[in-house]
Every structure is written in C-alpha cells, then in structure tokens.
Structure 1
Amino acid sequence: MRPWLPCNLPIGLCFLMVVHTQTPTVIQGHVQRQSESDALECLALTLYWEAGGEPSAGLAAVGWVVLNRQAHPDFPSTICQVVREGDNQPGCQFTYSCDGKSDTPADLKLWSRVQTIAQEVIKQTIPDPTNGALFFHAANLAEVPWAIPRERTAQIGNQIYYR
C-alpha cells in the first residue's frame, strides 16, 4: 500500500491503515516513512558490504552514519534512500549499491550479526560512537580530498569518521 495516495475510506480509517502498515520512526525530529523491514534490510546490507570485516563497534558506527544522514536536511529522508543515493551515477555514496555485483550476502553468520546490529542502531539502543558523523572512509587511504575541510570525529576500527 502506498500510504499517501488518496483513500476511499473515511479519513480516520485511512489514517489507521497508514499507521498500521508503516511505523514511522522519529530521529531528531525527522520523520521517516518506510517499513521497518525495508529499513532494516537496507541498513543491514550496508553494514555487511561496507563494514563486514569490522568489530561490532565499527558496524554500529557505519550504521550511525546512515542514521545521521537520514536526520540531516542535506540527505534523503529514509534509510534506503540514504544508502542508495547516487547509485545510478558515478560517485555513489555506498559502493556496494552501485558496483554491479550481487548484494546477496554469502556469509550467513555475518548476515545474522549485521542484522542484529542494524536493528539495535535503528532502535538507538547503541549510542552514536561517531559523534554525529556524516562521512567515513577506510583508514588505510593515503589521501581523501573530500575529507580535508571536514571535522574528524572518530576513528573506529579501520574507518575514520567526519562531519
């Protein structure tokens, strides 16, 4: 069901249908309208492909970058839109979404782990270890020109975080 299309039922029933089918999440006053299962899958895939080799803190940190972007006015308003931003052009935000390879996880143990961490990040039971970071890159990269004007907020595992 597309929640913002006209409904032929009385307004109260239409509203109840929308609330029942999609539970909005509020993050820093920013309302997300996306099913919880879609948000969880998008975030878990991002953790799997962008930080699968990281410890739990590193996985959570990448998850928080996605949530921080979602809450920021310069980025899309849902988790899936954030992770897919630019996926149809060069310079996508999260490489796995535009590399042309299958996104199906092969390591089921890791997949289960990242799903758990993604759920905890979405529910915000893990605090933001990045101090509000909107960007990150692998620590082993020699030069990252886009990072120069940004404030470094943390290094967690093999990633450096910025806002």
Structure 2
Amino acid sequence: MTTTEKDRDVLARTLWGEARGESLIGLIAVAWTIRNRVNDGKAKSWWGEGYTGVCQKPYQFSCWNKNDPNYAYLGGAKPIPFREFAQAQIAADQVIAGKVPDPTGGATHYHATTMVKPPTWIVGAKRTTTLGRHVFFKDVP
C-alpha cells in the first residue's frame, strides 16, 4: 500500500490527539492499533481505507469528532506544540515504515484507563496489553 504525506500527517495528528503525554512506546502502540486496522481485510468496508481513511472515519477516534476539544488543533485552527507533534511524527514514521514491532499483540481497539465506564465493545474482546494510559484489545466482536 502506498502511504502519502497526508497519511503520515493525519496519523501523527491522531497520535497527538489520542495519546499526547504518553511515552514514545505509548504513541507507537496507538499507531500500531491504527496500522492493524489499515491492514485488516475489513478496512475498505468498515474502518476506512489507508491511514487517513481509518483515522478520520467518523466516531472511530474521538479526537477527530468536531465537538472534541482536540479538533481545533488537528484541523489547524490552533497550533500543536512543536515538541509534542515532533514526537508523534517520529512514532508515525517508525510504524508506517515497519521499523518497530507491534507492542499491542495485534490490537485493533483500545480505550483510556481513565474512562469511568468501559466501552460496551470490550465484551467478548481479547485484552492484549496495557501500555501507559491505554488498554488494548483484539478480536472485538
């Protein structure tokens, strides 16, 4: 699959919106979750096509929802802090290029550990790991 500069930028913005403040491994884990969706056979019919399509599919990554406080930053209305965005770009580049292994064990989903009520989709899903403030899952029904 060909990855464009827009894919790289949208992935890095998604990492910033979803996982800023995490370590590099935390950003890489979220990036791998997205890559696992991109590479899943369901991508064209369900999650979108390519990194841009997957990241910006409505209601998949809350940072892209227009009512989310991160949206103004992701869309460019507000500047993303340089160092934070540079870290997200590094994680995006490493995952797109396949330079780092998947620390999530094939996860296609995650949720923040700070959620008061876990999402309903975890019922029947296989928990793969917890990294930083995210819990990762695969085989989500």
Same fold (TM > 0.5): yes
Instruction: Indicate yes or no: 2:86 matched with 1:118.
Output: no
Q: State yes or no: 1:58 paired with 2:33.
A: no
Match of 2:15 among 36, 39, 47: 47
**Bigger radius of gyration:** 1
Q: Percent identical across equivalent pairs?
A: 28
Deviation of 1:148 after TM superposition, in Å, equals: 1.4
Offset of 1:99 from its aligned partner? 2.7
TM-score under structure 2 length normalisation? 0.84
- The match for 2:60 is 93
The residue correspondences of 1:118-157 to structure 2 (distance < 5 A) are 118-141=92-115, 142-157=117-132
Task: Write the distance in 2 (CA, Å) between the matches of 1:140 and 1:148.
Answer: 18
Number of the residue aligned with 2:136: 161
SS of residue in 1 equivalent to 2:136: strand
3-state SS in 2 of match to 1:133: coil
* 1:4-55 deviation digits (Å, cap 9, x = unpaired): xxxxxxxxxxxxxxxxxxxxxxxxxxxx2442x1111011001100000111
For structure 1, the 5+ residue unaligned runs are 1-31, 87-91
CA distance in 1, matches of 2:8, 2:92: 6
Distance 1:33 1:106 in 2: 26
Cα separation, 2, equivalents of 1:106 and 1:67:
23
**Number of residue pairs matched?**
126
- RMSD value over aligned CA atoms? 1.3
